[in-house]
Structure 1
Amino acid sequence: MKYIEFKVHASRQGVEQLTAMFMSKGIYELSIKDPADMEDILDKKVSYEWDYVDDSLRETVDKEPVVSVYFEDTPENRERIQDLKLSVMMLKSKELEGLYGWDVDFGRLYAETVDVDDVDWKDKWKENFKPLKVTDRLVIKPTWEEYTAAGDELVLELDPGMAFGTGSHETTSLCLKLLEEYLGEEPADKKILDVGCGSGILSIAAALLGCGPVLGIDIDEDAVRVANENVRLNGVDDVVEITHGDLLQGVDFKADIVVANLMADLVAMLSESVADHMEKGGVFISSGILTEKKEMVENALEKAGFEIKEIREDDEWCAIVAEVGK
């Protein structure tokens, strides 16, 4: 089958705005290539060391991030792509007009299309997804790779499909580290709510770490399907439930810890209602927040009655831990 890759070259700031634009149009299956991830590998910021790095990997470091969406090659989708091109042009125009602030730079926002066969892209991303030790105990292992746990390591098997969440992105690793810490010495006593669960990585990690019941929610039906497959793969389907939903609408569940790896605007929106789904003294761990939007999210959380416990940063991203009133 023939496909069309619609790709947009942007800055890291631009990636978040592009993601929001695509989601507003009902497009949730995105491929984001960020050279900074390659830089982390070259700088050996991950927990393992590389004996050899191919020169082609080094060549990617200086390139700009690219957001890609894939469509079947049909007349209807070609029209849809033209609409997306106009939306990208409008986004750039608004940036130049200063509507997002004069210190904002979304990058070139150069859009292009590439005709591809499904064999060229469907599984190619797997080449760069390797076992990764994300926290003191958690190792994320793709289903097609081999890995033997050492010591008290917990191995989380994952096939993210087209859903977000492999553990390698700063936002996900920040959430995993904080979740492990705040589960504390008695995780079995804690209930977890994962809003925007994507591949199910946070929900599964919580279960492997020994927590009580977990509810994961995602608006994308494909993500729900993938997450449920990963839950069964890890043998935690007796603890984790994954369901389809829009943020917390219609949810009847109270948690001790809520995790939300979303975008800054969605976290701010969620802060208005999330306390109603938390036990007294519960903790809200939110990520997916660019550091430049940290203050905006802080203000939204404090306005909703939360107390900020800590903020952690990794490169241009941050995670915020807030506590609901006791």
Structure 2
Amino acid sequence: MKYIELRIYAARQGIELITAMLISKGIDGIMVDDPDDMEDILNKKNEYGWDYIDDELKENMDREPVVSVYFDKSDDGRKQMSDVKKALRDMREQEKRGDFGQCTALGSLNIEEKLVDDDDWKYKWKDYFKPYRITDKITVKPTWEDYEAEEGELVIEIDPGMAFGTGTHETTSLCMKLMEKYIGDKGKEKKILDVGCGSGILSIGAALLGCEDVLGIEIDDDAVRVAEENVAANDASGSVRIMKGDLVDGIDFEADIIVANLMADLVVKLCKSAGHHLADGGVFISSGILVEKEKYVAEKIENAGFKILEIQEDGEWCAIAAGV
């Protein structure tokens, strides 16, 4: 079977923004080839006393980073790829307006397409997906890996398939850590609303933390299907429901905690109505926000009637916890 590989060339800052955009569209199986990663290898030359580093490796450090995603060679796949291309054009316009900050450069955003065979890529990324501890209690592991959990450790099994990845991006781990904190040991008392649930990893995490009434909302049909499969694979169907929806439009559900791993503009849009879906004393946790937009988003959340409880950062990303 053939697939379409879309390669997007971008600056280092652009990679983070493009990754966030792709995740927001339910495309979570993303390959990033960043020359900056080569620097770590070169730095180990002295540490380990290596005498030789391939010249090709050094030359690779001068090229532009590449983000690669893959689509079915079908009408649906081409439509999804077209949506991504449009989003890239929109991002270029946002860059020109300074929406990402005056110092942010996306890079060339040149794209390449080519047909690839299933065996060329479909399973290659699995070599890099290993069990990964994302919070004090929760570890994410691929379904095909054997893993022996420690006492008290909670394990989420994820098979991202072709379009949905590992869930170990900084935005996901930030959201999961805050959710774990505010659920505490009162999982059975907490109702969780996961807006833009993607692969369902946060919803599953909530169930493992003891929550028995979790609703995940996702706008993409494929993401809904994959999330439901992951929920079932983790024996969480009794606690977690996945619904198709656009943010909280038309959703009749009051939660103790809302988690939203989206993008800054979607968080700003959501915060205007999130309070109507939170119980008294509820917490609104949002992520997918670049640190440079932290102040802007926090102000919008406060203007919507929330009080900022805390902000956590990881690299270029941040997550905000706010109370009503």
Using structure 2 for the length normalisation, give the TM-score.
0.82
Distance 2:276 2:214 in 1: 17
Give the alignment's Cα RMSD to 1 decimal.
3.5
Asked if the contact 1:129–1:142 (Cα under 8 Å) also holds between the matched residues in 2, the reply is yes
Distance 1:89 1:66 in 2: 17
Q: 2:253 aligns to what SS in structure 1?
A: coil
Give 1:172's aligned residue.
172
**Where does 1:56-135 land on structure 2 (aligned, <5 Å)?**
65-73=65-73, 88=88, 91-92=91-92, 95=95, 101-135=101-135
Using structure 1 for the length normalisation, give the TM-score.
0.82
Give 1:7's aligned residue.
7
**Where does 1:1-326 land on structure 2 (aligned, <5 Å)?**
1-15=1-15, 17-18=17-18, 28-29=26-27, 31-34=29-32, 65-73=65-73, 88=88, 91-92=91-92, 95=95, 101-162=101-162, 164=164, 166-324=166-324
Amino acid of the structure 2 residue aligned with 1:233: A
Distance 2:62 2:145 in 1: 29
Give 1:46's aligned residue.
none
Superposition deviation, residue 34 in structure 1: 3.8
Q: 2:203 aligns to what SS in structure 1?
A: helix
Amino acid of the structure 1 residue aligned with 2:322: A
- Sequence identity percentage: 55
1:172–1:61 distance in 2 versus 1, CA, 3 Å: farther
Distance 1:61 1:197 in 2: 35
Give 2:44's aligned residue.
none
Superposition deviation, residue 11 in structure 1: 2.7
Superposition deviation, residue 262 in structure 1: 0.6
Gaps of 5+ in 1: 44-54
Superposition deviation, residue 13 in structure 1: 3.4
Cα shift readout 1:204-261 (whole Å, capped 9, x = no counterpart): 1111111231011101111111111111111111111111111111111111011011
Distance 1:159 1:150 in 2: 21
Asked if the contact 2:203–2:240 (Cα under 8 Å) also holds between the matched residues in 1, the reply is yes
1:136–1:30 distance in 2 versus 1, CA, 3 Å: closer
Asked if the contact 1:13–1:105 (Cα under 8 Å) also holds between the matched residues in 2, the reply is yes
Distance 1:152 1:124 in 2: 32
Asked if the contact 2:70–2:163 (Cα under 8 Å) also holds between the matched residues in 1, the reply is no
Distance 1:136 1:87 in 2: 35
Asked if the contact 1:311–1:321 (Cα under 8 Å) also holds between the matched residues in 2, the reply is yes
1:153–1:262 distance in 2 versus 1, CA, 3 Å: same
> Which stretch shows the higher mean deviation, 238-247 or 107-116?
107-116
1:205–1:95 distance in 2 versus 1, CA, 3 Å: closer
Distance 2:84 2:226 in 1: 27
Cα shift readout 1:118-159 (whole Å, capped 9, x = no counterpart): 221222222211111111111111100000011211111111
1:62–1:296 distance in 2 versus 1, CA, 3 Å: farther
Distance 2:79 2:301 in 1: 41
Superposition deviation, residue 32 in structure 1: 2.9
Gaps of 5+ in 2: 42-52
Distance 1:153 1:83 in 2: 39
1:38–1:224 distance in 2 versus 1, CA, 3 Å: farther
Asked if the contact 2:29–2:160 (Cα under 8 Å) also holds between the matched residues in 1, the reply is no
Amino acid of the structure 1 residue aligned with 2:254: K
Asked if the contact 2:192–2:258 (Cα under 8 Å) also holds between the matched residues in 1, the reply is yes
Q: RCO (CA 8 Å, sep 6+): is it higher in 1 or 2?
A: 2
Distance 1:79 1:245 in 2: 19
